[in-house]
Amino acid sequence: MSLPPSPYSAGAGRLLVERAPAKVNLSLHIIGRRADGYHLLESLVAFAGCGDRLSLDPGRPLGLTVSGPGAEAAGAGPDNLVLRAANHLMARRPGLVAGHFHLDKRLPVAAGLGGGSSDAAAALRLMARLNGLDRNDPAILAAAAATGADVPVCLDGRARVMAGIGERLSPPLALPPLFAVLVNPRVPLATADVFRRLGLPPGAMRDAAPQPATPAGGCDGSEALAVLARARNDLEPPAKALSPAVAEALILMRDLPECRLARMSGSGATVFGLFDDCRAATRARRLLAAARPTWWVRATVLR
């Protein structure tokens, strides 16, 4: 039996490494549904300090190995979003040099944290670095959009408002650092199932939804929290209907004495809580981890 190649093996080239941070939807408002079934939305997206890690060994043929707690759920086959993104890019730019990817999969899978999308974006950044492409090269942007609705916003991992189905991005936003706890009850939720459960017919527009509450540039953390409190995640009700663990996580988070805001991210089941400072978030992480020892719980800063 041959051993899988070491993620840290030197190969013929220099190992390139990128972080793939978790994406958190601070707000998510559904505006309508396109005739092709995709939903139009407005979402304020930020990125966490925790995430996956992707490396690329340029000396070897295109391939992927995966390690870490989420390795089995993510898989290492051609459907992994790392390989899908690389193949989308190579189809648009024949002749690009690829290599062997190694993914250290730390984030829970199908969790509303855009882990796969962030991995795909990291793969495109690695391919861009290896081939001397600009990150804003049209082929990179097109490969990102073709890989998944969340991939474009993950390309540079900076807080933005995304609109359309995720292809229209605001300029980067200067959010104050937000002290957060992320909790995932380890119940995977398929994004397509959550959108379907919303029950919006294709072609339908909802009554005018408010703009996503976006904290003004330069505001402090407590002003940002006040603005975010006026927003919502429209996918919470369908996710709760599909998984009671989402409601349980929201209640546990909201009931923590120092929690200022609790909301689901993306299509769930991960719930985030926001706190006034790092110490309050750390205390909350300890309380949640003790209350639900089998759940995935992290304290982190969102930017």
Q: Three-state SS for 30?
A: strand
d(CA 161, CA 173): 8
Among ligand ATP, ligand CDM, none, residue 111 binds (CB under 5-8 Å by kind): ligand ATP
d(CA 112, CA 121): 16
Q: Contact letters (x/-) for ligand ATP, 182-221, by CB under 6 A?
A: ---------x------------------------------
Is the Cβ of residue 116 or residue 212 nearer to ligand ATP in the bound state?
Answer: 116
Minimum Å distance from CB 77 to ligand ATP? 9
Using CA atoms, how far residue 239 sits from 112, 145, 151, 177, 193, in Å, is: 10, 25, 22, 27, 9
Among 20, 22, 41, 155, binds ligand CDM (CB under 6 A): 41
Q: Contact letters (x/-) for ligand ATP, 111-130, by CB under 6 A?
A: xxxxxxx-x-----------
Q: Tell me which residue has its CB nearest to ligand ATP.
A: 116
Q: Three-state SS for 212?
A: coil
**Is 108 within any annotated ligand binding site?**
yes
Using CA atoms, how far residue 124 sits from 101, 148, 170, 202, 205, in Å, is: 11, 13, 20, 32, 34
Give the distance from CA 220 to its chain's centroid: 24
d(CA 181, CA 281): 6
d(CA 31, CA 270): 22
User: Binding to ligand CDM (CB under 6 A): which residues in 240-299?
Assistant: 266-267
Q: What angle do CA 284, 54, 105 make, to 5 degrees?
A: 45
Q: Which of 300, 263, 46 is nearest to 173 (CA)?
A: 46
Per rule CB under 6 A, is residue 148 in the interface with ligand CDM? yes
Among 21, 114, 215, 273, binds ligand CDM (CB under 6 A): 114
Furthest CA-CA distance within the chain: 60
The one catalytic residue among 104, 119, 150, 234: 150
Minimum Å distance from CB 159 to ligand CDM? 13
User: Binding to ligand ATP (CB under 6 A): which residues in 239-268?
Assistant: 266-267
By CB atoms closer than 10 A (0-12, 13-18, 19+), residue 222 is exposed
**Active site annotation includes 150:** yes
Among 56, 82, 128, 155, binds ligand ATP (CB under 6 A): 82
Q: Are residues 106 and 144 in contact, defined by beta-carbon separation less than 8 angstroms?
A: no
**Is 118 within any annotated ligand binding site?**
yes
Among 56, 74, 122, 161, binds ligand ATP (CB under 6 A): 74
**Active site annotation includes 105:** no
User: Binding to ligand ATP (CB under 6 A): which residues in 43-72?
Assistant: none
Binding site for ligand ATP (CB under 6 A): 74, 79-82, 109-117, 119, 150, 191, 266-267
Active site residues: 23, 150
Binding site for ligand CDM (CB under 6 A): 25, 28, 37-39, 41, 43, 114, 117, 148-150, 165-166, 191-192, 195, 266-267
